[in-house]
Amino acid sequence: MTDTPAVTVRDDPERGVFLAVLDDGTEAGGAYYRHADGVVTFTHTEVPSDYEGQGVGSTLARGALDAVRERGERVVAECPFIKAYVERHPEYQDLLAG
């Protein structure tokens, strides 16, 4: 099993994406969203095959959801990956809008 790389999650609101960024600055994935009226609608999550199975996607989902919580906003999980993550981690279910 490959070691989990060090990943920082940062929001790029102009691109509408939370990015998983490695220590060397490489973008290792993104959780794409639309933002309106205090609701973040996650539409698609991508992690390049080079980083699959290394925890990048889970780190990305957790970081994005934590950021939404910090801002006091809600989530619509159109993205199947984010939806499954929230289902597996009930501590995030209170973020779901409607």
Stronger pLDDT, 2 or 83, i.e. the higher one: 83
What residue spans define the domains of the chain?
7-92
* pLDDT beyond 60 at 28: yes
Check pLDDT > 50 for residue 20: yes
Is the domain defined by 7-92 classed in CATH 3.30.70.600?
A: no
User: Average pLDDT of 76-92?
Assistant: 97
> Residue 3: what pLDDT?
62
Whole-model pTM over 0.85:
yes
Q: What is the pLDDT of residue 1?
A: 44
Please write down the HEC assignment for all residues of 4-59: CCCEEEEEECCCCEEEEEECCCCEEEEEEEEEECCEEEEEEEECCHHHCCCCHHHH
